[in-house]
Amino acid sequence: MSTSYQLKRADFIFKNENDWEDVLRKSISRPPNELINELISSELKGRGGAGFPTGLKWKVTSEEVNDVKYVICNADEGEPGTFKDREILSRVPFKVLTAIAICGHVIGARTGYIYLRGEYFFLQNELNKAINEFEYYCKEIKFDFKIKIFMGSGAYICGEETALFESMEGKRGEPRNKPPYPSSFGYMGKPTVINNVETLAHTYTIFKYGSKRFYDLGVQYSRGSKLFSVSGDTPKPGIYELELGMSLADFVEEFGDDDTKAVQVGGASGFLVPRKRFAETNIGFQGKLVGISLPTGGSMMLFNSSRSMFNVLDNYLNFFAEESCGQCTPCRVGCQQLLKGIKAVKRGEKNAQYLDKMLKLAETMQFTAKCGLGQSVGNSFSSIVENFREEMIY
Amino acid sequence: MEKKKINIIVDGKEYQVTEGKSILESCREIGIKIPTLCYLKDISQNASCGICVVEVKGARTLVRSCISKATEGINITTHSAAINIARKTNLELLLANHPKDCLICERNGNCELQDLSALLGIKETPFERTKPVPKIDNSSLSLIRNPDKCILCGRCIAVCADVQTVYAIDFAGRGLKSKVSTYLDQGLGNVACTNCGQCALVCPTAAIIERDESKEIMADIYDDNKIVIVQTAPAIRVGIGEAMGMGEGELVTGKMVAALRKLGFSKVFDTDFAADLTIMEEGFELISRIKNKGTLPMITSCSPGWIKFIEHFFPKSLSHLSTCKSPQQMFGAVAKTYYAEKLNVDPRKIVVVSIMPCTAKKFECKRPEMKSAFHYWKEKLNLPEKDSFFDVDYVLTTRELARMFKVTGVDFSNLPEEDFDHPLGISTGAGVIFGATGGVMEAAVRTAYEVITGKPLEKIELNVLRGFEGIKEAELDLNGTKLKVAVAHTLKNARVLLEQIEEGTSPYAFIEVMTCPGGCLGGGGQPIPTTWAIRQKRSDSLYKEDRLKPIRKSHENPAIKAIYDDFLKEPLGHVSHELLHTDYIERGIY
């Protein structure tokens, strides 16, 4: 059953508006509370994939009493199949810089960082030029704010916010024990707002047009628009801004090649949805009333009937086994065992029932891994093995 | 003051527990046991193993009880089908890459991984090995690392960093390649490691163990051409009992001596004798430094982990160290000179074995400068350089000694008590308390006071210097001269005092430093486990032996008087200088 929603394009993020000076000046003249309320009523949720309400994050950090606070823009875009943040930073960097600075105004931070994925070194020069221009303007309007780029070194785990802090502090990139959360104990132990690049870009839209304009897009619980990185077996790969809440059936209708057998929503750490579930699956945050809702950082990989789902899973697991930080047992050893297990079954060294043992293992990883990485390995594993079991065996 | 209580629900029942603790500790408080592996109270909560997980109502995933706070009204379930499967699965994952050679493992019978496998009822290991067998790190003279047995719990790293501030080891690599490693993977023997062995003491498996030298010693004992004598450090008599199945911290001096004789040592001597000798030399050194305006504060040099620490991290401050050798090395030098002359035997025939609570002593006895006896004899006997020998040949930790007792069938707890041999077994209460933090200082004061003032010390028990506070200080009045002294244990606390010295703000004249928490009684070679409660019992026993000793001041030891009369002549004299004093090396960090 298809929902009544049709695929709706939006065009905010990449719209060339050239008015960041106005937006910055006007926003920082507004009291922080007003800006926080604007964000809260927009119902913007984090676009990195976890979907934490952005307004709430800024609010609790603003309430922390501390002379030093930080704003960090998480540009460690490492999820396989995601390439939107790179585009944002190269096409509309000023929107992001403005949003970082406004956040600084709201929470009381004077320094912002962009944690740039190691492989995005080619963005560094242009971005630094933009930062120089931006800081020049800040000086002109007597707004005391600095933005620096911190280059990552290529570990996937460092996109996890607390591992990112550790990395910035010169330590081994490993998630911290939580609590405390970044809002009270972030970078250098100081209260920190850390947002995804796209989330910050949306706040620009919200501060410029007001929360209603954003809230009116999307559906209940999943407001606003979102960038999707579309790849795989599609005639039109690329980045698209779409309203949240669309059904996967509509999405495949638009982007598929008429032979789509499955879509991986949310990258390697996301879920694989087989064709028979396209209609009942909606792209948005948990809590939608009808059907299944899948939150996502925006990676949409389409697979047609020529693809072996075993190879797809094998590829993901290799990725995870390599990128697990190695700290906690379920993730460190679990990823290796899942990888070894599916190979053993495929080769006939283990019988098909071993897959059930592996599914149990995946469940333990979901329940007991320390951070989002380990917890989410089971997402793709279980959804692929359960839906394409025969491809795993034969 | 009564701590505030909170209400929690555990497994459906309501309880009141002290506020501010973790779920794990709160449950322990009310007698509910949650299995753990990587967690070690006060040391490490890496929260990596995934064994102590529980359900908390409202939480999306299972919760690690070691790092999650118990809060008012929290509803906890400590066992359920889902929890049991999760714990078991996580343990099975660890076992996949852990060798199953328990029967031939050093920690057989004293291994937390083994115990947990039994506790969780592991009957099979469904997962296969995924990592290649790593190389054993035997670059260190003190410690052997077998990364194959490592379960990456992080305790060794935590104790090295947080208790000792040495940072010799850390995690390296990620995913499959995660391991505990040293700087540039050079091995423990080639980096700034102090050999303190606290890592071995906290390791739940046999991934870090002492370098075992018991085989070589047994071979020497069975060799009729050799005279194998043994010295035992103060802290052994309060540690070996528990390793032999007796009570924690039980004082077993007499049984230990009897057992060592049964093992076949020709003479059983006491490092306490050498401790008394150290007090004489060190006491006079301090007096001389004060009189002659030498470098102050002077710092004790008994603890070899501490020596290597200052050589690595504070080489500029080496002149603050007392030039006195440690008691173990004084003993070795005296045994192969003074005692060899007494026996009228070739010093090359004498094998000196030390039983130490310490892994760093293994390194210390192999320091190239520790060949004083050889240099003493070199000209007298016309010895070639290739015949050179160390003052101390072997160091055994308390744990190794316990294994030797077991192998040779010594029925330890039923042995009748025996006394140490003469003359190097005669000691005082001052020598005994060397085994506890503050003991060297207290012993030194007992002697220095009387030497300087010429009056008897009325109150010889200095309670202000006892106990486990990290840094203790006191002001002594020596005939009007006020001396400020400080006592530190653990290298973290030693670092504090050294930083004061380097900043020029140190108010002290004399400082005692012990590497390990609690002093030698908590040394890296002591029985596992060693907790603060156990350290306290060992400490109580040491001070008890001090009270029981007829002589409690080093300078009153008749054997000490004799060795000065017959051999050394005077403290800081020429012979002392040759045999009992040493110098240090500027090592730096890399």
B532 to each of B198, B213, B251, B503, B535, how far by Cα in Å? Answer: 13, 28, 17, 32, 5
Locate all alpha helices (DSSP H) within A347-371, ordered by sequence.
354-368
- Please give, rounded to a whole number of angstroms, the shortest distance from the CA of A340 to a CA of chain B: 8
Q: What are the Cα distances from residue A323, in Å, to A318, B46, B175?
A: 9, 19, 6
Q: Which fold, B131-208?
A: Alpha-Beta Plaits (3.30.70)
- Name residue B584's amino acid: Y
| Residue B6: pLDDT over 80 | yes
CATH of the domain at A197: 3.40.50.11540
Strands B53-56 and B63-64: antiparallel
Active site residue B250: no
Helix axes A354-368, A372-387, angle to 10 degrees: 150
Residue B487, pLDDT score: 98
ipTM of the complex: 0.90
Q: Which residues of B touch A326 (CB under 8 A)?
A: 152, 171, 173-178
Across chain A, mean pLDDT equals 94
Same-domain status, A179 and A319: no
Of the residues A165, A192, A215, which one is the last residue of a structural domain? A215
Residues of A in contact with B86 (CB under 8 A): 364, 367-368
Catalytic residue among B308, B325, B361, B537, which?
B361
Tens digit of pLDDT at every position of chain A (394 positions)? 334 446 889 999 999 888 999 999 999 999 999 999 999 999 999 998 888 999 999 999 999 999 999 999 999 999 999 999 999 999 999 999 999 999 999 999 999 999 999 999 999 999 999 999 999 999 999 999 999 999 999 899 999 999 999 999 999 999 999 889 999 999 999 999 999 999 999 999 999 999 999 999 999 889 999 999 999 999 999 999 999 989 999 999 999 999 999 999 999 999 999 999 999 999 988 755 566 788 888 999 999 999 999 999 999 999 999 999 999 999 999 999 999 999 999 999 999 999 999 999 999 999 999 998 999 999 999 999 999 999 999 9
Interface of A with B (CB under 8 A): 155, 157, 172-174, 177, 179, 321-330, 332-337, 340, 344, 357, 360-361, 364, 366-370, 375
Tell me the average pLDDT across B323-331: 98
Residue in B closest to A374 by C-alpha: B175
Cα-based angle B188, B193, B198 (whole degrees, multiple of 5): 95
Distance CA B298, CA B300 (A): 7
Express each pLDDT in B153-176 by its tens digit.
Answer: 999 999 999 999 999 999 999 888
Alpha-carbon gap, residue A115 to A264, rounded angstroms? 27
Cβ within 8 Å, pair B175-A323:
yes
A375–B61 CB contact, under 8 Å: yes
Looking at the domain assignment, is residue A223 inside a domain? no
Q: Which residue has the higher pLDDT, B458 or B201?
A: B201
- Select the residue from B23, B46, B48, B150 to test the A interface by mutation, using most A Cβ atoms within 10 A: B48
What is the pTM for the complete model shown?
0.92
Let me know whether A314 and A210 are in one domain: no
SS3 B444: helix
Residue B259 or B458, more confident: B259
Known catalytic membership, residue B502: no
Q: What's the pLDDT tens digit per position in B115-138?
A: 999 999 999 888 999 999 999 999
Residues 6+ apart with CB under 8 A from B444: B279, B282, B283, B286, B510, B512
Write b or e for each residue in B431-464: b if 16 or more Cβ atoms lie within 10 A of its Cβ, otherwise e: bbbbbbbbbbbbbbbbbbbbebeeeeeeebebeb
CATH code for the domain in which residue A334 is found? 1.20.1440.230
User: Looking at the domain covering B5-95, what would its CATH class be?
Assistant: alpha beta
A230 within a domain of the structure (yes/no): no
Residue where a domain terminates, one of A194, A215, A236: A215
Domain of A202 in residue numbering reads as 20-215
C-beta separation of B518 from B468 below 8 A: yes
Which of B466, B393, B79, B336 lies closest to B216 in space, CA to CA? B393
Q: Calculate ∠ Cα B521-B42-B29, nearest 5°.
A: 110
Please give the residue of chain B at the shortest CA–CA distance from A173: B174
What's residue A3's pLDDT?
A: 41
Which among A172, A333, A367 is the nearest to B93, CB-wise? A333
Domain ranges of chain B: 5-95, 131-208, 215-580
Domain count, chain A: 2
Q: Do A340 and B152 touch (CB under 8 A)?
A: no
Alpha helices, DSSP H, located in A324-353 = 329-346
Active site residue B92: no
Nearest chain B Cα distance for residue A190, angstroms: 21
**Chain A CA closest to residue B179:** A326
Q: How many CB contacts within 8 angstroms connect chain A with chain B?
A: 106
Residue A248 belongs to some domain of the structure: no
pLDDT over 90, % of chain A: 90
Catalytic, B516? Answer no
CB atoms within 10 A of CB B558: 12
Q: Minimal Cα distance from B66: which residue of A?
A: A177
* Cβ–Cβ under 8 Å, residues A115 and A72: yes
Q: Do B89 and A336 touch (CB under 8 A)?
A: no
- From the candidate CATH numbers 3.40.50.720, 3.40.50.1780, 3.10.105.10, 3.30.1330.20, the one assigned to the domain spanning B215-580: 3.40.50.1780
